[in-house]
Amino acid sequence: MKFNILLVDDEPDVLEVLKMFFEFEGHKVFVAESAKTALDIFNTSKIDLVISDYRMPETNGIELIEKILLSDPEAITILLTAHADVDVAIEAINRINLYKFVRKPWDNQELSLTVKRALESRELILENKRLVNALREREKIIKEIEKNHPGITDIKTDQTGRIIIEDENKLLT
């Protein structure tokens, strides 16, 4: 399946390598060299996954992801960093819903698998949201039916759980 991936890094060479890598895997790739450009792209395009560098000139990746999550709390995000220390990890855990840290330089197979799993997670989140919405719609329909036909949704069962259907004709005789 083809997904839309937003790559954010202030290093053009890193962006180009990642872009080619993910396009080769069949994804549509958007690139941004700044947080401002990344937010513009995110807010005007359907993005399935954001992969951002941690250290950038005007902001860091955690701050960028915080802003992205304000627009879409279910966004799936990966943080790239050459400076993975405990403080950065704690900050990310406490402030953002980060899918995973990936250290630079990355292993292509590991990155590919991480992205695949992240996109599967995105699909599950969206499917769950769709199913919840469908369930809410069905509940509205059932409430409307019950309103127009009181008692129609009451179901009587015996001790074994079998549904009891009362014959109205027998009740009248």
CATH class, 4-128 region: alpha beta
CA distance linking residue 160 with residue 92, whole number of Å: 52
pTM: 0.78
Instruction: Indicate the SS3 state at residue 53.
Output: strand
| Residue-wise burial string across 115-148, b where 16 or more C-beta atoms lie within 10 A, e elsewhere | beebbeebeeeeeeeeeeeeeeeeeeeeeeeeee
Structure token digits, residue 93 = 């855990």
| 8-state DSSP, 96 | -
CA distance linking residue 21 with residue 114, whole number of Å: 14
Average pLDDT over every residue of 53-80: 91
**pLDDT tens, residue by residue, 88-122:** 777 777 788 789 988 888 999 999 999 999 999 99
Cα distance between the two ends of the chain: 63
Cβ–Cβ under 8 Å, residues 40 and 63: no
Residue of higher predicted confidence among 151 and 66: 66
Hey, how many other C-beta atoms are within 10 angstroms of the C-beta on 49? 21
Query: What's the pLDDT at 170?
Result: 54
